[in-house]
Amino acid sequence: MSEFFEREKYCGRTKRVLTAFVALAFMYVLFFLNSYFGIFKFRNENASEMFFWSVLSIPFILIVLSFWFPKTWLKIVAVFILLPIAFYSTLFGIFAYAFSSSHKIQTIQMKYCEVSIYEYDQFYIYLEQEKEIFPGVLLVRNIYSYNNRIKIEPIDENQIKITFPPDNQAIDAENGVKIIGLKRFVYF
């Protein structure tokens, strides 16, 4: 009878470990998609930094969790797969932290959202539409990017006007002005 309970306890622990493993792996993949396609952002820079480093530590947590797998061959395969990912995460974190110099230049408050201009490395400008979905958590959509200084002004609650400097016009702007429509809920 006690053998039955021991086996049930062992299977329950394995299920919990596998569930945690899959959930953390899914969160890690979502983070990398978010870093390239920017969907969510924190309003507070310190919260962004903490989230960034905690997600980059997920491969190391997964390596530790893999030691609770029931089969030895599964442990070995998981560690050999996760070691390069952990190494890549460490390098990505170091280079992103050392060479990233993005900061907010201007924010325009609209009726349903806000439009922010960010400067990246003093040469590249990008506009983002941001809407707060939870306190401190923003839903973000990249609206426009350009390689020089620009000026934005609201036209109405659903449109902004981008004015380019006279010496450096954008290809898709007419007479140095481009009008961009905003979406009420950022993506729809």
The pLDDT-based confidence of 5 (bands split at 50, 70, 90) is very low
Sequence length of the chain is 188
Q: How many CB atoms lie within 10 A of CB 183?
A: 14
User: Which has more confidence, 155 or 133?
Assistant: 133
Tokens 């329950």 locate to 12
Tens digit of each residue's pLDDT (9 = 90 or more) over 90-114: 888 888 777 766 778 888 888 888 8
Residue 158 and residue 184 in contact, taking contact as beta carbons nearer than 8 Å: yes
Contacts of residue 89, Cβ cutoff 8 Å, sequence gap at least 6: 56, 57, 58, 59
Distance CA 48, CA 3 (A): 48
Percent of the chain with pLDDT over 70: 80
Mean pLDDT (the chain) is: 78
Question: Per residue in 163-179, pLDDT tens?
Answer: 776 665 555 566 667 77
Decide if pLDDT at 10 tops 70: no
**Mean pLDDT: which of 8-12, 35-39, 70-74, 180-184 is highest?**
70-74
Quote the pTM value: 0.65
* pLDDT grade for 122, boundaries at 50, 70 and 90: low
Cα 57 from chain centroid (whole Å):
15
Given pLDDT bands bounded at 50, 70 and 90, which one contains residue 60? Answer: very high
Is 8 a residue whose pLDDT tops 50?
no
The pair of three-digit structure tokens given for residue 6, joined into one six-digit string: 């021991």
Neighbours of 89 (CB within 10 A): 20
Domain boundaries, the chain: 2-99, 102-181
Mean pLDDT calculated for residue range 55-76:
87
What confidence score (pLDDT) does residue 1 get? 43
Structure-block tokens of residue 76: 């070995």
| Residue 80 banded pLDDT, cuts 50, 70, 90 | very high
What is the DSSP secondary-structure string of 40-77? EEESSHHHHHHHHHHHHTHHHHHHHHHTT-SSHHHHHH
CA distance 101 to 105: 12
Q: Report the alpha-carbon distance of residue 85 to residue 66 in Å, rounded.
A: 14
